[in-house]
Amino acid sequence: MSAGFRHHNLLGIADLNREDVNQILDAAELFIEVSRRPVRKVPTLRGKTVINMFFEASTRTRTSFELAGKRLSADVVNISSSGSSVSKGESLLDTCKTLEAMRPDLVVIRHAASGAPHFVAQHIGCSVINGGDGAHEHPTQALLDAFAIRKAFGTLSGLKVAIIGDITHSRVARSNAALLKLFGSEVRFCAPRTLMPSHAETLDAKVFHALRSAISGADVIMLLRLQKERLEGPLVPSLREYARHFGVSQKHLELGSSRAIVMHPGPMNRGVEIHTALADSERSVILDQVEAGVAVRMAVLYLLAKEVRAQTATQAASDAG
């Protein structure tokens, strides 16, 4: 397994370089095998505690962080806003300080506010992992997407990646653009004008408003749902209208490169951004993404816990004088 990881937290792809990404993906290659064994457990994080704090809905991310921790033998606790003291008016900081006093090693946070995990990381000592903050970043999603892309093409460089959907409100689009830029792939954002951020070009993406040109020659066709929970007012005339202009079906595949793959971070809205036959087609790697999600999260937990262990050892040595 790889040498020490240089980060204490995983807050965004913006903090990583190519080497960091490769280190995580290489570790995930080893961990994906664990999930395929009859006994899906290794003792790597025995004695470590992971707290998952999900203040926004989640199926894939929450479940896969939980499985990732359990497959590494960590103790995993899940907290959601509805069943916790957050619903009684406790602040995010007080909740985090309270949980920190129980001495977890790693905390995973999903929150509707952009920057929430960064704020928490400034106030607590254990490692913080961003499980998705508002429309800002979703680093483990981009890492698992990178894992699936690397598996399909053997590289993350020199590819054309079309990301189609509600770009404005998508943390997945932002994290993917940042990661693919590190490796020199071309990122294309495609959305109606009302769902395209005005600063899209500053994210190093090419901007498209027509589906066919965005998909033309693309190696990866990544679809995003409309982030209804973040839409302020109607930004598309109707779902039917949106699907007519931006819904991707199998007939669009012929526009992409001959080896094009179809991705979606989930949850899918079949019949809106993706036609059902395409979602279930041979070109779709959507379930590979889900499988990669557990392995990548195992890798992230492992590498950050390793960093924590290294720090504790240094601390212990300096304390001993």
Rounded to 5 degrees, φ, ψ at 107 are -125, 130
**Cα–Cα distance measured from residue 43 to residue 261, given in angstroms and rounded to the nearest whole number:** 35
Q: Which residue is nearest to ligand ASP (CB)?
A: 265
Least distance (Å) from ligand ASP to the CB of residue 133? Answer: 10
**Cα–Cα distance measured from residue 74 to residue 12, given in angstroms and rounded to the nearest whole number:** 23
Least distance (Å) from ligand ASP to the CB of residue 315? Answer: 35
265 contacts: CB under 8 Å, gap ≥ 6: 60, 138, 141, 145, 172, 222, 224, 289
Q: How many helices (H) and strands (E) does the chain have?
A: 10, 9
Which residue lies nearer to ligand ASP by CB, 178 or 255? 178
From the list 143, 172, 255, 301, which residue makes contact with ligand ASP (rule: CB under 6 A)? 172
User: Is residue 132 at the binding interface for ligand ASP, with CB under 6 A as the rule?
Assistant: yes
Counting every residue, how long is the chain?
321
User: Is residue 111 at the binding interface for ligand ASP, with CB under 6 A as the rule?
Assistant: no
Alpha helix (H) residue ranges in the chain: 18-35, 60-71, 92-100, 116-123, 139-153, 171-182, 211-215, 239-246, 276-279, 286-319
Least distance (Å) from ligand ASP to the CB of residue 170? Answer: 7
Question: Strand 205-208 vs strand 220-223: parallel, antiparallel, or unpaired?
Answer: unpaired
> Which x/- pattern, by CB under 6 A, does the window 196-225 give for ligand ASP?
-----------------------------x
Least distance (Å) from ligand ASP to the CB of residue 117? Answer: 13
Closest CA to 68 of 179, 144, 125: 144
> Which x/- pattern, by CB under 6 A, does the window 134-163 give for ligand ASP?
----x-------------------------
Which residue lies nearer to ligand ASP by CB, 115 or 266? 266
> Which x/- pattern, by CB under 6 A, does the window 263-292 give for ligand ASP?
--xx--------------------------
Which residues ranging from 223 to 242 are in contact with ligand ASP (CB under 6 A)?
225
199 contacts: CB under 8 Å, gap ≥ 6: none
237 contacts: CB under 8 Å, gap ≥ 6: none
Least distance (Å) from ligand ASP to the CB of residue 215? Answer: 20
Least distance (Å) from ligand ASP to the CB of residue 172? Answer: 5
| Residues contributing to the site for ligand ASP (CB under 6 A) | 132, 138, 171-172, 225, 265-266
